[in-house]
Amino acid sequence: MFRAAIERMAPYTPGEQPRPGQRLIKLNTNENPYPPSPRVRRAILAEANAALRLYPPPRADAFVAAAARLYKFPRGMILAGNGSDELLAMLFRAALGLGDRVAYAMPTYSLYDTLAEIQEARVVAIPLGDNYAPPLEALGREAANLTIVCSPNSPCGTLAPAAGLDALARKLAGRLLAIDEAYVDFAGSNALQLARRHRNVVVMRTLSKSYSLAGMRLGLLFAHPDIIESLLKVKDSYNLNRVAVAAGAAALDDSAWMRRNVERVIHTRTEAAMRLRAMGFTVPESASNFLLARLPGRDMAPVAAALRRRGILVRHFPKSVFRDALRISIGAPAEMRALFKALAPLVGDAAPGRIARGRRSD
């Protein structure tokens, strides 16, 4: 009934979401442990009482206007999405057809693979460099139809330097460069201005992480107005609902609230990284709200499963070169304490064989 490419492909597997009423410590999908600004709740209630009878504004006007104020970009350079996943899907649909090439680092956000398969595009996967560095020069040499850099990258948390991205944009000479900055509010710098400087650069943000609004599905894309015009052709007419538009505007208008939560997450991240290293894990420097904790060469699937049985969800990527790692979202301090309590007996001091013993005693 469907295209061969669709019949063939495996669906994207999102991280586990608890069932209603199920109490789990959720450190698997990089949500924010703190609530969104109280202004968001007020805006949602006001909108719910106002005009739900009517379709929403097709370009999510109030949300885009708030983004224009906050980031000091013209509105014509901003596109709102139902999460940045939708913006990524629009980008793939608009930029890639059968056999076109899309290049990105490997490992990275695995949704890119799924979107490429849907388009029947060819993936050029470039391994990360030393110390998890994004392979910017190699990506430039590939000159694919679409190049994506996830910065900070998932699942390792490393930031691509803006100067390197600037050079890559130039090297790609008119071919599209998309910079996925889903986690960049947890980093010390960002590359947003490249969307102003280069006509081939798209920068994507989400309110799911730093703004604590994963449930609202709010994303933003910044690019030259010509790129926005092309993407609008593949956009669902009313892609954001009225409640989300109001929530997104209220959240951006209170970015100070977001900053306070981000500072708390960064503080916990620093402590958690130290603790994991003390337990014997290799932990790359993270500019995001998660840590990659590796025990090189060991399959961490049993540890992830044992944590799951103790009610703690972390992310394990069984098919990746990071099979020997757990990606741990930064939760509230109490959640992290529960994680360390459960993790310690599973890995001990990371001496050989400890994982296996942990598994047996589980």
Binding of ligand PLP by 84 (CB under 6 A): yes
Binding of ligand PLP by 214 (CB under 6 A): yes
Binding of ligand PLP by 106 (CB under 6 A): no
Q: Which two tokens stand for residue 338?
A: 């529960």
Among 150, 168, 246, 247, binds ligand PLP (CB under 6 A): 150
The residue with tokens 């979107």 is: 115
Residue 240, judged by CB atoms within 10 A of its CB (0-12, 13-18, 19+), counts as buried
Binders of ligand PLP in range 12-51 (CB under 6 A): 30
Residue (32 or 206) nearer to ligand PLP, CB: 206
Residues whose CB is less than 8 angstroms from the CB of residue 198 and which lie 6 or more positions away in sequence, other chains included: 166, 169, 170, 177, 224
Residue (32 or 37) nearer to ligand PLP, CB: 32
Residue (200 or 206) nearer to ligand PLP, CB: 206
Among 204, 193, 195, CA closest to 79: 204
Among 36, 164, 219, 284, binds ligand PLP (CB under 6 A): 219
Note whether 251 and 111 are within 8 A (CB): no
Task: Give the number of other CB atoms < 10 A from CB of residue 320.
Answer: 15
CB of 186 to ligand PLP, least distance (A): 12
CB of 315 to ligand PLP, least distance (A): 10
Binding of ligand PLP by 107 (CB under 6 A): no
CB of 27 to ligand PLP, least distance (A): 13
> What amino acid is encoded at 107 in this protein?
P
DSSP state of 212: S
Find how far residue 229's CA is from the centre of its chain.
Answer: 25
Choose one: 83-91, 132-140, 161-169, 345-353; the region binding ligand PLP (CB under 6 A): 83-91
Angle between helices 333-347 and 301-309 (to 10 degrees): 130
Binding of ligand PLP by 206 (CB under 6 A): yes
Footprint of ligand PLP (CB under 6 A) = 30, 83-85, 109, 150, 154, 180, 182, 206, 208, 214, 219
